[in-house]
Structure 1
Amino acid sequence: MSALFFGSISALADTSELQREAFNQAFREHRLDWEWDRETYRGLLGSNGGADRIAAYARDRGESVDAAAVHATKSALFQRNLLTSEVAPRPGVVQTIKDARAAGTVLAFVTTTSAENLKALFTALEPAVAAGDFDLVLSAGDVESGKPDPAVYRLALERLGLAPGDAVAVEDNPGGVQAARAAGVRVVAFPNENTAGLDLGAERTVERLALAELQTA
């Protein structure tokens, strides 16, 4: 393994519940009689893309909503909540990043969330984890299609001059795992609070990151 790709915000810090709370806050602000409890939310995590998730939920209920507007509100609330909550790196993340840099392993953050979400995340996590820890950071604006489309992984490999077999990805959700595998990248599942117990489709699942274990994935 010559490169380690972190594939999502919750691969660094478990923000899954903050995400769910932001969705529910946005629903209230848009006067939608919706409330995603944890069971409902877990059932929706098989797909990626918050706006698409909102639109699909509305269709299932026979309702018409401006999914993009609701999701924009959700994103703003999530970013605010990140900055006002006690957010910490997940187990093993900080040491894994330090060990990877010491070993000369290329580090990339390969996600299709928004650049604004990433900025809020790194602000919340600094100085423990910073954008500067990564040799490459990709977000939604860098590709036309979000995960599970493998475009962002293929772009990361291209920009870093790597073959798919050179990298291991860490993902916390089914769509992310699917994207990495479709790009030919080995993937280790690192489930978050709300994807724990789901079959993410990865070759290996861990509860704590360690570089030595990732190197043998």
Structure 2
Amino acid sequence: MAAILFGSISTLADTSEIQRQAFNDAFAAHDLGWTWERKDYIEMLASNGGAARIAEYAHSRGEEVDSAAVHSTKSEIFQKLLANSDVDPRPGVVETIADAKKHDVKVGLVTTTSPENVNALLGALTAVDVDLFDVVVDSASVSQGKPDRAAYMFALGRLGENAKNCVAIEDNVGGVAAAVAAHVRCVAFPNANTVGGDFSAAVETVDRLDADRLRSLTEGNR
């Protein structure tokens, strides 16, 4: 394995419920009278993009909102919530990154969330330092969000690596689709709110990362 590519901030730490709280707090701040219950939110996670999700929900209710403004508020709230939360690495993440460094395997974070959200997560997650990543892709890096493959193509170009020698870790269906479209083997690592998704496009689905298993997925290709 030449590189392991973490596909979202929630592959490092499960922030999904913090995200949902931030959405609901943003709705309150904009006097929308909306509340996304967990069941409803889980169904919405089949698609990527918070602003688009807000716009689609408003349309379903026959309402007009400034989805970009609401999403901007949501992001500000999310970052503040992270700063005041106890955020732990997901199972196997710290060990997998340490193993990668030991075996001269590059590590990337390939997300299309904002740079501010990435910084907020890595600031709260003290066990995973930004310096451990050989490339960090965010919404400022590419114009297309997932499930488009653009973020992965950008990462592969920056790393100078062939897709067949890399493994992606993704926690949502759209992320898996993006990795597969870039011809990167993808391991699904669903979070608490995406665990019911259809991850059949991934090579396997796990609830804990195992460094030896990940390295074995590209044996003979490097």
What is the identity, as a one-letter code, of the residue corresponding to 1:52?
Answer: A
- Cα deviation, 1:75-113, whole Å, max 9, x if unaligned, reads 000000001011010011001100110010010111100
What is the identity, as a one-letter code, of the residue corresponding to 1:154?
Answer: M
Q: Does 1:163 align with 2:153?
A: no
Return the alpha-carbon distance in structure 2 between the equivalents of residues 37 and 212 of structure 1: 38
1:71 is matched with 71
What is the identity, as a one-letter code, of the residue corresponding to 2:197?
Answer: L
What is the identity, as a one-letter code, of the residue corresponding to 1:108?
Answer: G
Alpha-carbon deviation of 1:198? 1.5
Return the alpha-carbon distance in structure 2 between the equivalents of residues 68 and 165 of structure 1: 37
1:133 is matched with 132
Alpha-carbon deviation of 1:159? 1.1
1:181 is matched with 180
Q: Does 1:55 align with 2:64?
A: no
Gaps of 5+ in 2: 218-222
What SS does the aligned partner of 2:144 have?
coil
Alpha-carbon deviation of 1:202? 1.5
2:202 is matched with 202
Return the alpha-carbon distance in structure 1 between the equivalents of residues 180 and 99 of structure 2: 25
What SS does the aligned partner of 2:140 have?
helix
The size of the alignment, in residue pairs, is 216
- Cα deviation, 1:51-72, whole Å, max 9, x if unaligned, reads 0010011111111000000000
What is the identity, as a one-letter code, of the residue corresponding to 1:26?
Answer: A
Return the alpha-carbon distance in structure 1 between the equivalents of residues 105 and 191 of structure 2: 24
With normalisation by structure 1, the TM-score equals 0.98
Runs of 4+ in structure 1 off by over 4 angstroms are none
**Correspondence 1:85-100 to 2 at 5 A:** 85-100=85-100
Alpha-carbon deviation of 1:216? 2.8
What is the identity, as a one-letter code, of the residue corresponding to 2:116?
Answer: E
Q: Does 1:191 align with 2:156?
A: no
Return the alpha-carbon distance in structure 2 between the equivalents of residues 48 and 216 of structure 1: 30
What is the identity, as a one-letter code, of the residue corresponding to 1:136?
Answer: V
What is the identity, as a one-letter code, of the residue corresponding to 2:42?
Answer: R
Gaps of 5+ in 1: none
What is the identity, as a one-letter code, of the residue corresponding to 2:17?
Answer: E
1:38 is matched with 38
Return the alpha-carbon distance in structure 2 between the equivalents of residues 174 and 54 of structure 1: 19
